[in-house]
């Protein structure tokens, strides 16, 4: 019933080729997020199995991490199985550190049924430095299906997979520790913002909205996650402090103008109004949103910049320039581009909020002057993402003198936007878009927001869950 075969099949070209194919597949994949799934898929396909499941050990339990075949749905395990060490075929495998090959599962004490109607089962431990860190498990609808060859090959593949699985586990532990510390700091900052800028608290009602979470604050304006009760939808709610009526007229004028814009990288204005002296603007909600200003503050506290940071910084700059190009083509300008007005969301383009200026020649404001203002503000924002400080234009210091690893092309774009470059001239946001498009990422990836980058992996953790 339980078997670790001493009569292992001899190495032959066909089997060696299967093992090599598995090693090559998991060796070439750089996305940690997909690695566990690829392992299960490759094993099932190469060995022609009904299914394959990877369990990872956490304490005295084994947690279903990935699965192949009928269990895979967009890389998510529905109702993941948790197996105590020592229970069932998988738990026994983890407890004994030995392969369990069961010809007839009905005869195995404490058999735990899975979604496959398994009549036979093969469970192989994933061992790293003598410790069981996981188990590969496969079941068959036929009794006595698994032979010496299946066991031999799955044990070889588990041996190859073990170092990569352990590396993933250790990396997740490190990143979770960093995220915990950054989130702690972020929560303290948000509490301080809430107490210093507004008398509003979660649960407070403004118009048709109930506040749930403070996202950020800029001067007299606070940004909240809220629920619009009449439509049962979440929104971002910008609220102007009751004590600051000087900006009231402009606050709603800008909202009316911005509501004309409809682009993925611009925060969409849904409605605006007033309640008990408080002016508010409701905008489209996206989960896990965080102002770029808070994100930069968190990144600045790390001992080193995350991998792919400048690629992602340039990717952000491109999307902000694209949003401004679109708005300018509609005769609408921003006038206050800054990290406080840029919303970051994992896996999506950054969104720019706070639009709403139009050229008014009657009072001496021209379209050219507003374009120039948006260019300079975009350059200052790019400078801040590189140097983590605002530029002093009177005593200007190039980014590379503050952050030596700054790519030359990125610095040149930044200087041009600020009007400080002798070689590159950018006079419109469309020219800025073209400049960003010329930047060549330093690593091989389809786009800087690929989850293979540590920077974007960390970004996914920032902000409270929806």
Question: Could you tell me the CATH number of the domain that includes residue 30?
Answer: 3.30.450.40
- End-of-domain residue from the set 115, 146, 165: 165
Rounded to 5°, the CA angle 398-410-354 comes to 90
Please state whether beta strands 120-128 and 131-140 pair in parallel, antiparallel, or not at all (unpaired). antiparallel
Q: Which domain holds residue 20?
A: 13-165
Q: How far apart are CA 172 and CA 63, in angstroms?
A: 15
Taking a C-beta distance cutoff of 8 angstroms, is the pair 283, 235 a contact? yes
Give the count of beta carbons closer than 10 Å to the beta carbon of residue 441: 18
Nearest of 359, 293, 355 to residue 324 by alpha carbon: 355
Note the pLDDT of residue 31.
62
Q: How far apart are CA 183 and CA 288, in angstroms?
A: 13
Where b means 16+ CB within 10 Å and e means fewer, 130-155 reads eebbbbbbbbbeeeebbeebbbbbbb
Note the pLDDT of residue 135.
97
* Per-residue model confidence as pLDDT tens digits over 344-398: 887 678 899 988 777 665 466 788 889 999 999 999 999 999 999 999 999 999 9
Residue identified by tokens 């032979």 is 147
Q: Is the pLDDT of residue 464 over 50?
A: no
Note the pLDDT of residue 453.
43
Note the pLDDT of residue 122.
96
Note the pLDDT of residue 440.
60
Q: Return the DSSP state at 267.
A: P
Residues 219 and 296 in one domain: no
Residues 142 and 55 in one domain: yes
Whether residue 204 is contained in a domain is answered as yes
Note the pLDDT of residue 447.
39
Domain total for the chain?
Answer: 3
Residues 270 and 384 in one domain: no
Give 447 or 74, the one with higher predicted confidence: 74
Q: How far apart are CA 40 and CA 61, in angstroms?
A: 20
CATH number of the domain at 378, please. Answer: 1.10.510.10
Specify the range with the lowest mean pLDDT, choosing from 10-19, 138-147, 315-324, 426-435.
10-19
Distances (CA, A) of 278 to 214, 222, 243, 340: 16, 11, 9, 21
Give 341 or 453, the one with higher predicted confidence: 341
Residues 263 and 306 in one domain: no
Note the pLDDT of residue 399.
93
Residues 153 and 204 in one domain: no
Q: Is the pLDDT of residue 221 over 90?
A: no
Q: What is the mean pLDDT of residues 35-56?
A: 91
Note the pLDDT of residue 389.
92
CATH number of the domain at 248, please. Answer: 3.30.200.20
């Amino acid at each position: 019933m339980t078997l670790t075969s001493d009569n292992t099949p001899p190495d032959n070209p066909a089997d060696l080729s299967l093992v090599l194919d598995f090693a090559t597949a998991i060796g070439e994949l750089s996305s940690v997020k997909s690695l566990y799934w690829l392992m299960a898929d490759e094993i099932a396909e190469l060995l022609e199995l009904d299914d394959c499941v990877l369990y990872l050990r956490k304490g005295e339990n084994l947690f279903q991490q990935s699965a192949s075949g009928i269990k895979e749905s967009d890389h998510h395990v529905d109702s993941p199985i948790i197996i105590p060490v020592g229970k069932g075929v998988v738990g026994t495998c983890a407890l004994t550190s030995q392969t369990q090959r069961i010809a007839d599962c009905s005869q195995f004490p404490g058999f735990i049924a899975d979604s496959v109607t398994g009549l036979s089962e093969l469970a192989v431990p994933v061992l790293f430095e003598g410790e069981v860190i996981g188990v590969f498990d496969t079941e068959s609808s036929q009794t006595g299906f698994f032979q010496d060859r299946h066991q031999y090959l799955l044990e070889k593949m588990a041996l190859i997979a073990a170092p990569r699985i352990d590396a993933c586990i250790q990396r997740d532990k490190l990143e979770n520790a960093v995220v915990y510390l950054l989130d702690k700091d972020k929560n303290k900052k948000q509490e301080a913002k809430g107490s210093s800028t507004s008398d509003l608290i979660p649960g407070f009602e403004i118009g048709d909205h109930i506040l749930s979470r403070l996202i950020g604050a800029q001067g007299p304006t606070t940004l909240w996650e809220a629920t619009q009760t009449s439509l049962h939808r979440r929104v971002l709610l910008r609220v102007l402090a009751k004590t600051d009526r000087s900006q009231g007229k402009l606050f709603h004028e800008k909202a009316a103008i911005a509501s004309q814009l409809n682009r993925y990288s611009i925060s969409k204005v849904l409605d605006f109004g007033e309640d008990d002296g408080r002016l508010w603007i409701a905008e489209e909600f996206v989960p896990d949103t965080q102002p770029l200003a808070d994100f930069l503050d968190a990144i600045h506290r790390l001992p080193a910049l995350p991998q792919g940071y400048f690629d992602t910084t340039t990717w952000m700059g491109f999307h902000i320039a694209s949003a401004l190009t679109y708005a300018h083509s509609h005769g609408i300008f921003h006038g206050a581009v800054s990290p406080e007005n840029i919303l970051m969301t994992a896996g999506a383009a950054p969104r720019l909020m706070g639009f709403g200026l139009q050229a008014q020649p009657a009072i001496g404001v021209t379209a050219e002057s507003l374009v120039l203002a948006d260019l300079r503000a975009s350059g200052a924002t790019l400078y801040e993402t590189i140097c983590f400080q605002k530029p002093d234009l009177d005593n200007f210091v190039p980014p590379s003198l503050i952050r030596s690893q700054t790519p030359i092309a990125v610095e040149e774009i930044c200087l041009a936007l600020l009007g400080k470059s002798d070689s590159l001239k950018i006079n419109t946001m469309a020219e800025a878009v073209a400049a960003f498009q010329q930047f060549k990422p330093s690593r091989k990836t389809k786009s800087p927001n690929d989850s293979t980058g540590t920077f974007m992996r960390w970004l996914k953790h920032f902000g409270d869950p929806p």
